[in-house]
Amino acid sequence: MDFPARGRRRFLGQLPAAGALLAAPASLLANPMDNKKLGVALVGLGGYATGQLGPALKMTEHCRLAGVVTGSRDKGLSWARDYGFPESNVYGYDAMAQLAGNRDIDIVYVVTPPGLHAQHSIAAAKARKHVICEKPMAVDVAECDAILAACKEAGVRLSVGYRLHFDPLHEEVRRMARTKESGAFTKMSGGFAYTMGRKTWRAEKKLAGGGPLMDLGIYVVQEACMAANATPVAVTARERPKKRPDFFVDVEESIEWTMEFADGARCEGFTSYDEGRNDFRAEAKDGWIELKPAFNYGGNRGATHRGPIEYAAVNQQAAQMDDFALCVKEARPTRVPGELGRRDLAIVEAIYASAAAGGKRVAVRA
Ligand code: NAD
């Protein structure tokens, strides 16, 4: 695709860089925690914690890795050496109540499989720590409600690990949706899928809550809501026949769905553990935006009707955690609160209900 140079937009000049978005003048910070980097404890030292969150915590300005909760004490001690926190800040999963007495730790980041998010988030809240819970927030709406109630009761803040809200390409989707400069987005489509080679908890309903819809499709659900600037009123869905039923015993292997919004906008979504896809497109009367790849940690590419989008790369995870640390320090709401995670589970539940009912239109009760 070739686009006229005059149509190209330089994002650096138009959107504040993540650092600028996140930085706040010291004079505006008013509580005793202001000058300190908040301490984060990661719960679960698997792939995402090791590959993304830990390294991002070496780049953050407003928080730092101060402890871990893990099933392997040796692994925890190795993290303590690598990240420079005391060995006393290594906890087992059944010792999370002891976090309450640890003043080094302000925020607990739950990065275990979704079937354990409620248990670990509630334990963190009871220890009076602010909570970031990875996506999907839990396996169903009832568990989301339990997490929200525990955080409310403890008076702590709750956020979901929706890293794409901190990525400039996705901010452009939201900006165009908000300003309606090309009209409202009415026709959307998106897919996120990969081929699962080795069976993990992601193919087990008890720990994952479902199949690829819970893990990958939720990104498309999120993006459609961002582009529509709304929650869908209803969905229809169809599970595709399984090619590997022995592998995906109690979860879907592939599923497609349609989200309907009150203004007539629609999004066609797809997710699978049996093929590759990574894209999102939204069309309005006078313009469009397309992201492809759309959902990666970095290197996503986008274009609008005006041409390719150029933007300064950010570390999504560092920006996300820094923003939450600032929200805690400044006592302001996060842009990715627990309520958003709950809303998405309500949409996911409606999608599963529609697929189970042979594609019947199901109202979303978010
Ligand atoms: P993983 O399997 O690599 O790690 C899971 C961790 O949980 C491991 O340390 C494991 O030991 C621990 N664990 C504790 N109890 C367990 C149990 N009963 N069964 C299995 N594991 C158990 O998974 P991951 O890819 O790191 O994903 C963890 C969470 O992070 C999930 O909620 C996932 O959706 C989320 N995630 C988010 C992103 C993102 O881009 N936001 C990316 C990857 C993963």
Looking from the CA of residue 117, the nearest atom of ligand 1 is 32
pLDDT for res 33: 54
* 267, 219 Cβ separation under 8 angstroms: no
How many residues are listed for the chain in this entry?
Answer: 366
Considering only CA atoms, give the Rg of the chain: 21
Residue-level pLDDT at 35: 72
d(CA 45, CA 88): 17
Under 8 Å between Cβ of 220 and 292: no
Nearest CA owner, ligand 1 atom 1: 46
Q: Identify which of 112, 273, 316 to mutate to test ligand 1's pocket (most ligand atoms within 8 A of the CB).
A: 112
Residue to substitute in 42, 43, 45, 48 for testing ligand 1 pocket (most ligand atoms within 8 angstroms of CB): 48
Asked whether the beta carbons of 210 and 202 are under 8 A apart, the reply is: no
| Distance separating alpha carbons of residues 238 and 309, to the nearest angstrom | 34
C-alpha 170 – ligand 1 centre gap (Å): 24
Ligand 1 contact via 161 beta carbon (within 6 Å): yes
Which of 75, 134, 167 has most ligand 1 atoms within 8 Å of CB, for mutation? 134
Mean pLDDT by 10 residues, the chain (366 residues): 30 32 34 77 98 98 98 98 98 98 98 99 98 98 98 98 98 98 98 96 98 98 98 98 96 98 98 98 98 97 98 97 98 97 98 98 97
Q: What is the 3-state secondary structure (H, E, C) of 68-82?
A: EECCCHHHHHHHHHH
State the pLDDT at residue 234: 98
Mean pLDDT of the chain: 92
Tokens standing for residue 234? 């209803």
Q: What is the pLDDT of residue 34?
A: 59
Sheet holding 130-133, edge to edge: 90-91, 63-69, 38-43, 107-110, 130-133, 158-160
d(CA 198, CA 77): 29
Angle formed by the axes of helices 168-179 and 218-228, nearest 10°: 40
pLDDT at 31: 53
Fill in the amino acid letter for 195: T
Centre of ligand 1 from the C-alpha of residue 49, in Å: 8
Query: What is the pLDDT, as a whole number, of residue 3?
Result: 28
Give per-residue pLDDT as tens, 133-183: 999 999 999 999 999 999 999 999 999 999 999 999 999 999 999 999 999
Ligand 1 pocket residue status of 210, Cβ below 6 Å:
no
The CA-CA-CA angle for residues 261, 365, 291, to 5°, reads 40
CA 297 to centroid of ligand 1, rounded, Å:
16
Q: Which helix (H) or strand (E) holds 140?
A: none
d(CA 211, CA 203): 6
207 in contact with ligand 1, CB cutoff 6 A: yes
193 within 8 A of 276, measured Cβ to Cβ: yes
**Vertex 323 angle, CA 319 and 329, to 5°:** 145
pLDDT, tens only, 53-90? 999 999 999 999 999 999 999 999 999 999 999 999 99
Q: Residue 216 class from Cβ within 10 Å (0-12 exposed, 13-18 middle, 19+ buried)?
A: buried
Q: Which amino acid is at 100?
A: A
